[in-house]
Amino acid sequence: AFTGGALLAGADYEGRPGVAWRVAKAREEHASAAQ
């Protein structure tokens, strides 16, 4: 999951999807990682 998040983060900066989207995605990944 962590590797996928890192790859996704790299793609996010390339595409610049927006801060709100990145924050929501980060929270989602953090929640799934905490389980």
SS3 assignment, position 20 = helix
**Interval 1-35: pLDDT, tens:** 555 665 555 555 555 667 777 888 889 988 888 77
Residue 4 pLDDT: 60
Residue 7 pLDDT: 58
Cα-Cα-Cα-Cα torsion 28, 18, 8, 30, nearest 10 degrees, comes to: -20
Q: Cα(20)–Cα(35) distance, rounded to whole angstroms? A: 23
Q: Provide the number of structural domains found in the chain.
A: 1
Q: Cα(33)–Cα(1) distance, rounded to whole angstroms? A: 7
Put simply, whether the predicted model's pTM sits higher than 0.85 gets the answer no
Residue 13 pLDDT: 56
Residue 4 is which amino acid? G
For residue 17, give its domain range. Answer: 2-34
